[in-house]
Structure 1
């Protein structure tokens, strides 16, 4: 791969600062593009980045293979669609252990996003996807921006604060832990993304409602590939399918920038299958000295360990574990409160009822946001024209008023 962002000096240096501060970097002449950290006790060397990259590429130089003597080298997350380095005919052997699935879109043959949509989806599906985008843009003051090569520090900090808040909100709703929100990991992403954006090796794609970020995607770039690293949307906008809208906008951006691949990266999700044109696998590569008994045994043990982890993953043990760890880390009162509501047309029974206008943007009325967005979606009204009123006699009764529609809402 040309210009892999995950082997860049910036990524490697900042990753080392956060995850391997006390261990000196090791470089091998036969693996010139990678940095490694040595295991404290074993003759094992692990690539910088570990599982925090979205794809490692490497080549093997024949001239310095004697450096492998007595050693094992572990390289995480090598996508199978990358060209695999050929092994020299000497003492180096390799295990390639399949781990997570990955999905990508090959964009090389498409001139624009519409051409991709026609080639990928049926007419009815294209209509729905475009309808989501039209609805979103008609109901809200929507604008899109890719920060790539330029962003002020203040704006960056503001977006990252929203990024964290949206991720926290999303996974509190799912009641599942998310590794990206662990302090050590989040601090790393927070520090590494800014300089890499300025270097055009990373980007932040943001969907705004007015000045408020409602969707954020952190991505990385090689010369030909966009890697989707972390994506999140405000769950209050779920009816508007922000995920599909984001993918359409990113496809269009990739084609405009002449990028050949939009890589959804590791992990199985239905949307990746639906949008992707190719499935691949992430592999862990274990290079070892085949003439050293210690290296042979160690390499085999590592290979068996990762095969066992994949077996557990196939049985969804990891998902169950994430739910358990969430419950252990979070108090019950952090669970999002559920409520029911009914929307109905105004009748004569309510004509004489007194209503007082309220601001649904306050913390007190935050629970109304989901209902507001459903009203906007169903009635095709714009947020800028919406007014809300609370009944002076029934605290759970509200009047929603747009340009063309008025409805009564009762919250149970």
Structure 2
């Protein structure tokens, strides 16, 4: 964006470098761990502006500016990353080196339970994907995000410009500037992550999972497998971005700062005043977001405009129901009429170490909210609570 009144250009560094793979013309080079990144210098005439604001710069990168420019910087918000520059031969090496023993046990249990209960496979698309498969996976990812944020009564900015991400994924995967990681259950995607690839850096962009499998910690399993892929492919840094979520903290071994650089070719009082205003505004916006004011705002707007819809999760409890009679006809869980029951069975499979495919469900004859769940090793009478 160019502010014509003051001849100031604002540049989103994160988008320019990680999504578009170019260096803004105000820079000469960028380094990661003393190694220069392979980027092209943008050819558009950015130096028509006498001053620049370079936003969202992760300070694990070292920047080299054109000599005639005079940058000053300010810290805006923190980000989290996984540094893999140590000699690591496996993801287990990383877990032992950087994570607590309790967390390692949680991850091992989650993977073991997932692979015990379902027919699980993993795939990373990097270097080739067909247009049809990419569009199908991105459509499923969009639906996962939509359902997840409906459940949380939240908002995801990526959904507003989804076509951009679809094109970025297809073109990026085929030219090795992006990758798509997928967890499948019997060929059906249940967790999808879109990442950007730049030399030795992997950057997490958009990810989500099927809510029916939430008991299995698919977010953590996805990160585990992405770190495994990163080590196998000589990635030195996996940037898991801003948003200080608890699960990210447990994985990250590098907390960095996003910086904003204010750059001018010569002293200009109006520019300096604008820089000061921009800095104060950015810090205020981050403070409000960190306190959840943005969610309150968008939730209020949704309620006022009638768009507020939340997903009410079904819960169940184990009951004593020895005298209740059940139908002899097994319920088809895969049918649309019974699809609401899938999450309950996923939770049951996790808690009782059962194969999902071995579970059979029978309905009570006189009570529509009571069911008999039967597996190979366990059985229970359950009541749904709406």
Q: TM-score, with normalisation over the residues of structure 1?
A: 0.81
Query: Are 1:341 and 2:300 counterparts?
Result: no
Compared with structure 1, are the counterparts of its residues 140 and 203 closer, same or farther at alpha carbon in structure 2 (3 Å cutoff)?
same
Equivalent residue for 2:154? Answer: 176
Query: Are 1:47 and 2:20 counterparts?
Result: no
Unaligned stretches of 5+ residues in structure 2: 30-44
- Contact 1:57–1:78 (8 Å) recurs in 2: no
Q: Secondary structure at the match of 2:80?
A: strand
Residue 52 of structure 2 is aligned with which of 35, 48, 73?
Answer: 73
Once the two structures are superposed, what CA deviation does each residue of 1:251-279 show, in whole Å capped at 9, x if it has no partner? 11000001111110122111221111110
Query: Separation in 1 of the partners of 2:77 and 2:338?
Result: 42
Query: Separation in 2 of the partners of 1:61 and 1:261?
Result: 22
Count how many residue pairs are aligned between Structure 1 and Structure 2.
366
Note the 1:73-222 alignment, pairs <5 A. Answer: 73-86=52-65, 88=67, 90=68, 92-109=69-86, 110-182=88-160, 185-222=161-198
Q: Secondary structure at the match of 2:337?
A: coil
Query: Separation in 2 of the partners of 1:249 and 1:61?
Result: 35
Query: Are 1:383 and 2:360 counterparts?
Result: no
Residue 256 of structure 1 is aligned with which of 225, 232, 247?
Answer: 232
Query: Separation in 1 of the partners of 2:290 and 2:358?
Result: 49
Compared with structure 1, are the counterparts of its residues 259 and 40 closer, same or farther at alpha carbon in structure 2 (3 Å cutoff)?
same
Supply the RMSD in Å over aligned alpha carbons. 2.6
Q: CA deviation at 1:219?
A: 0.1
Query: Separation in 2 of the partners of 1:257 and 1:69?
Result: 41
Compared with structure 1, are the counterparts of its residues 312 and 234 closer, same or farther at alpha carbon in structure 2 (3 Å cutoff)?
same
Equivalent residue for 1:225? Answer: 201
Unaligned stretches of 5+ residues in structure 1: 1-36
- Contact 1:175–1:326 (8 Å) recurs in 2: no
Compared with structure 1, are the counterparts of its residues 322 and 94 closer, same or farther at alpha carbon in structure 2 (3 Å cutoff)?
farther
Equivalent residue for 2:27? Answer: 60
Q: CA deviation at 1:123?
A: 3.0
- Contact 1:354–1:393 (8 Å) recurs in 2: no
Query: Separation in 1 of the partners of 2:58 and 2:114?
Result: 35
Once the two structures are superposed, what CA deviation does each residue of 1:43-81 show, in whole Å capped at 9, x if it has no partner? 12233677687588666359xxx9858722122211111
Q: CA deviation at 1:175?
A: 0.2
Equivalent residue for 1:365? Answer: 338
Note the 1:297-336 alignment, pairs <5 A. Answer: 297-328=273-304, 331-332=307-308, 334-336=309-311
Farther-moved stretch of structure 1 (208-217 vs 355-364): 355-364
Query: Separation in 1 of the partners of 2:300 and 2:291?
Result: 16
Q: CA deviation at 1:355?
A: 3.7
- Contact 1:70–1:294 (8 Å) recurs in 2: no
Q: CA deviation at 1:289?
A: 3.3
- Contact 2:11–2:55 (8 Å) recurs in 1: yes
Q: CA deviation at 1:302?
A: 2.4
- Contact 1:100–1:267 (8 Å) recurs in 2: no
Q: Secondary structure at the match of 2:115?
A: helix
Q: Secondary structure at the match of 1:149?
A: coil
Q: TM-score, with normalisation over the residues of structure 2?
A: 0.86
Compared with structure 1, are the counterparts of its residues 345 and 249 closer, same or farther at alpha carbon in structure 2 (3 Å cutoff)?
farther
Query: Separation in 2 of the partners of 1:409 and 1:47?
Result: 56
- Contact 1:289–1:295 (8 Å) recurs in 2: no
Equivalent residue for 1:401? Answer: 374
Farther-moved stretch of structure 1 (282-291 vs 147-156): 282-291
Query: Separation in 2 of the partners of 1:94 and 1:49?
Result: 14
Equivalent residue for 1:289? Answer: 265
